[in-house]
Amino acid sequence: MWRMKHVFLIPALAVMAACATTPAYGPAKSDRGVGYLSQQIEQGRHIISYTDPDPVRARNMALLRASEITLMEGKDWFEITSEGADTEESRGGGPSVSIGGGTSSYGRSSGVGVGLGIGIPLGGGGSGKTTQTIEIVTGANPKPDRPSAYDARSVDMNLRVTAG
């Protein structure tokens, strides 16, 4: 019986640990904060962005937000009309080189100085954040037969479980 309890306990702890390290799905608290931002451009057209340390999760959560907006409008599908990703590198991610110079004059004598500095990251650094941005149009059935068109209910059902 002791082993049976551990068979269920270990996967549950693994899921809890994964959720503890993954930011919760939700709105961003600032323009570059983790989470989603969305703006309606016109009726049935929206721009959605999702920022996350993991680029795959950023795209999936942008799709999840697109499905939420589509369903809130009472529509069935959405189509991505444009998309892009922006990755922000964290500080301390790699070596840097700086070059500087200057002149000075004091009384009758003058001097010129040139310096060269090399920076080596001492901290562990960290990964940056990726912001996935998609522009969508929403619609009612029938869904267009194109790879850029998604069924909102299916996306919501399949990605909600990974939202954390």
Closest C-alpha among 160, 139, 134, 144 to residue 47: 134
Measured between alpha carbons, how far is 110 from 102 in angstroms, rounded to an integer?
11
- Counting the structural domains of the chain, the total is 1
On whether residue 38 sits in a domain, the answer given is yes
DSSP SS3 for 3: helix
Token pair of 24 as six digits? 């919760």
On whether residue 48 sits in a domain, the answer given is yes
Give residue 164's pLDDT.
73
Closest C-alpha among 37, 77, 35, 27 to residue 57: 35
Closest C-alpha among 76, 83, 82, 84 to residue 150: 76
Single pTM value for the model: 0.67
Burial of 164 (0-12, 13-18, 19+ CB in 10 A): middle
Closest C-alpha among 50, 40, 49 to residue 75: 40
Angle at 48 between CA 56 and CA 42, to 5 degrees: 155
Contact present, 85 and 131 (Cβ < 8 Å): yes
Q: What is the pLDDT along the chain (164 residues), one digit of tens a residue?
A: 555 555 454 554 444 444 446 789 999 998 889 999 999 999 999 999 999 999 999 999 999 999 999 999 999 999 999 999 999 876 555 555 555 544 444 455 555 555 555 555 544 445 689 999 999 999 999 999 999 999 999 999 999 998 87
State the DSSP code for 27: B
Burial of 122 (0-12, 13-18, 19+ CB in 10 A): exposed
Domain residue limits at 26: 22-102+115-160
